[in-house]
Amino acid sequence: MSGSDPFNVSDIRRLMALLLSITMLLLSLAAWWFMSGSSGQFAAAACGRIGIVMAALWLAWPSLKRPAKWLPASAPVIGVIALIVIAAQPRLILPAIPIVGGLITLSALARSFRRR
């Protein structure tokens, strides 16, 4: 086998996201149009939301391939820890927002001082 790949895997994944988005939005429209009652509303809403998310993924695909240079490396870890804390204690969402912002700002400042 040669080293050149005739199909770019990233382009195929982006195309699949677009096709899935269009399919889910069409299913949402069909469920809204042809189904009645709460099950039709539920199916239309679920398919519509999935279609919108897949369309957003399709739009953002080129920027997902490169990391955000401005975001500190510790930000995703801080975010995941905050999500775990909020999932365990939903009442902590209000104090968690400024704490997460402060920790990300502090890590960005520490990163800028390390470079100098």
In a domain, 111, yes or no: yes
Shared domain check, 79 and 42:
no
The overall longest dimension of the chain from CA atoms, in Å, is 64
pTM greater than 0.85 (yes/no): no
Shared domain check, 47 and 15:
yes
In a domain, 4, yes or no: no
Q: What does the pLDDT read at residue 70?
A: 67
C-alpha span between 47 and 15 (Å, rounded): 18
Q: What does the pLDDT read at residue 110?
A: 84
Q: What does the pLDDT read at residue 1?
A: 45
Residue range 93-115, pLDDT digits in tens: 899 999 999 998 888 888 778 76
Shared domain check, 58 and 92:
no
Number of domains forming the structure of the chain:
2
Q: Which two tokens stand for residue 11?
A: 């382009």
Strand, coil or helix: 14: helix
C-alpha span between 113 and 116 (Å, rounded): 6
H-only helix segments in 6-92: 9-34, 37-64, 75-88
**Residue ranges, the chain, pLDDT below 70:** 1-10, 67-68, 70, 115-116
Residue matched to tokens 């988005």 = 21
Query: What length is written for the chain?
Result: 116
Q: Pick from 64, 83, 101: which residue ends a domain?
A: 64
Residue matched to tokens 């005739």 = 6
Range of the domain at 47: 9-64
